[in-house]
Amino acid sequence: MKLLRQPPLKNPRPGTVVPARIGNRRHSFTLIEVILAISIATGILVTALGFYRQASELRNQLLSAAAQLSAVRQILDQLAADLRTAMPQSKLPFRGTSDSLEFARAVPTLPIGPHRKSSTSALTDLHRIAYHTAVQNTGTNFTITGITRDESLLLPELVSTRDSTSAPSSPDPLGKEPAAENTSTNRATELVTDAIRFLQFMYWDGNAWLDSWTGFNPPRGLEITVGLDPLPADVAPTNYPFEKFRRVIFLPTGSVTEVTAIESTRGKDGGQ
Q: What is the pLDDT of residues 51-92, one digit of tens each?
A: 999 999 999 999 999 999 999 999 999 999 999 989 888 778
In a domain, 18, yes or no: no
> Which of 57-61, 219-223, 233-237 is predicted with the least confidence, judged by mean pLDDT?
233-237
Give me the mean pLDDT over the 232-256 stretch: 87
Mean pLDDT, rounded, for 178-190 = 51
Give a yes or no: residue 24 inside a domain.
Answer: no
**155 domain-assigned:** yes
Identify whether 67 is part of a domain.
Answer: yes
In a domain, 28, yes or no: no
Please indicate, yes or no, whether the overall pTM of this predicted structure exceeds 0.85.
no
Residue 176 domain-assigned? Answer: no
Provide the β-strand partners of residue 201: 224
pLDDT at 35 over 80: yes
- Specify the higher pLDDT residue, 7 or 161: 7
CA distance 196 to 229: 7
Name the residue with higher pLDDT: 123 or 270.
123
Please state the domain count of the chain. Answer: 1
Average pLDDT over residues 182-204: 78
Percent of the chain at pLDDT above 70? 64
Domain assignment present for 199: yes
- Give domain status of residue 219, yes or no: yes
State whether the Cα torsion 247-253-259-260 is positive or negative. positive
Range of the domain at 242: 60-112+122-165+181-271
What is the C-alpha separation between 145 and 142, in angstroms, rounded?
9
Own/partner contacts of 244-249, CB < 8 Å, gap of 24 or more, are: 244/198, 245/72, 245/76, 247/76, 247/79, 247/80, 247/223, 248/204, 248/221, 248/222, 248/223, 248/224, 249/79, 249/80, 249/83, 249/84, 249/221, 249/222, 249/223, 249/224
Q: Which band of pLDDT confidence, cut at 50, 70 and 90, is reported for residue 39?
A: very high
> Which is it for the CA torsion 106, 109, 111, 112, positive or negative?
negative
Q: What is the distance between the alpha carbons of residues 247 and 220, in angstroms, rounded to a whole number?
A: 14
Q: Decide: residue 199, CB within 10 A, 0-12 exposed, 13-18 middle, 19+ buried.
A: buried
CB 54 within 8 A of CB 208: no
Residue with the bigger pLDDT between 163 and 73: it is 73
Average confidence score pLDDT of the chain: 75
